[in-house]
Chain A
Amino acid sequence: MRTECIQPERTISVMARLIRMDDTGHTTLAEWTAADEPAVEAAVTAFREQLDAGFYAVVTEGEGRARQVDELPLDAELVILRRPIAGG
């Protein structure tokens, strides 16, 4: 039972990040700014690899909104990779 009051802290930074939710909490796979071409290329490659591995990519669009993406949105602040869900 989660009774201890651990206050979640904000951790999103300004730089665009591609993160994958995994057993460590989450892992940052790539960071980029639109002006940094090698970083963008690395991010796109990492993004593709994760989609091929079965992850889905989601971009949050403000409170209560999210969008699934098949291409890395370079203007997004945060792209989150998640695993598929299923009825239990």
Chain B
Amino acid sequence: MSTGVLPETAAVYWRPRVDERSLTRRGRVWTLTTVAHTIPFCIAAIVLFMLNPVSLPVGLILLVHAWAIPELYAQRGANVLKPKRRGEAGPEQTALGLLGDLVGHDARELLARTGLVIERGRLGTWVVGEAGAVLVRGRRAFCWCVRVDDLTLPSADRIAHLLLALRTDEAGFATVANLAFSGSVGRVRRRVAEPMRPALDAARRSTTGRTAAP
């Protein structure tokens, strides 16, 4: 990756630049937040049941909440890779040709199979989609919501925009993007469409042993 600074970071000047340490911290905070969302519902369900077993239905509703909140967050993370509606075939093919030129042979083959590009960086391995990217570091995934604001662009061009920005300034890219989810790669993998899963598998393989699991 290049060492230049992404100009878009100027639009989010209040955000500290993302680095290895801040990523690890954000991952831990995310996990703690999830626990903090979940535990009170579980405790309340148990306490209610102990006070009066008739409250069982209310307790079950609370437990469903405790289960649903982390699930919704994971789904939100997986949605960053969700493909948009395809445009006309001609521009899509042209854009795909350019994107194919930008990536290596293995990534090109994976792009053809999954519609996603994987890119190794200093912070981990990225899986880049049209509306965001997933950074895989060991067993943890960071799902970032980031996009080019032009709905007329073909899908492959939207990926190319993100890929070029990522290559220009990886930390800046993560700074500009909004973190949608952080958690186990497996939780994201289960929620993305099946044809896309090989991209996450490849990213996890490439990062295992290279980056310590946070």
Contact = CB atoms under 8 A, between A and B. Distances in A.
Interface of A: 1-3, 5-12, 19, 21-26, 56, 58, 60-61, 63-68, 78, 80, 82-88
Contacts of A56: 7
Given A23-B91, A26-B157, A85-B147, 15 more contacts: A2-B86, A5-B113, A9-B100, A21-B98, A23-B150, A25-B96, A58-B164, A60-B167, A68-B169, A82-B164, A84-B8, A84-B11, A85-B165, A87-B176, A88-B80
13 contacts: A1-B195, A7-B100, A23-B91, A26-B94, A60-B167, A64-B1, A65-B1, A67-B4, A68-B6, A80-B164, A83-B148, A86-B149, A87-B177
B168 A2 contact: no
Interface of A is mostly: loop
Given A2-B155, A25-B95, A67-B4, A85 B148 contact: yes
B contact face: mostly helix, strand, loop, or mixed: helix
A25 B157 contact: yes
Interface in B110-156: 111-115, 119-121, 131-132, 144-150, 152-156
Contacts of A80: 98, 160, 164
B47 interface: no
A10 B101 CA distance: 5
B151 to A, nearest CB: 9
A64 B119 contact: yes
A26 to B, nearest CB: 5
B161 A8 contact: no
A10 B153 CA distance: 20
B186 interface: no
Nearest to B15: A87
B101 A2 contact: no
Nearest to B165: A85
B97 interface: yes
Nearest to B82: A1
A19 B147 contact: no
B122 to A, nearest CB: 10
A60 B168 CA distance: 9
A26 B43 CA distance: 56
A64 B123 CA distance: 13
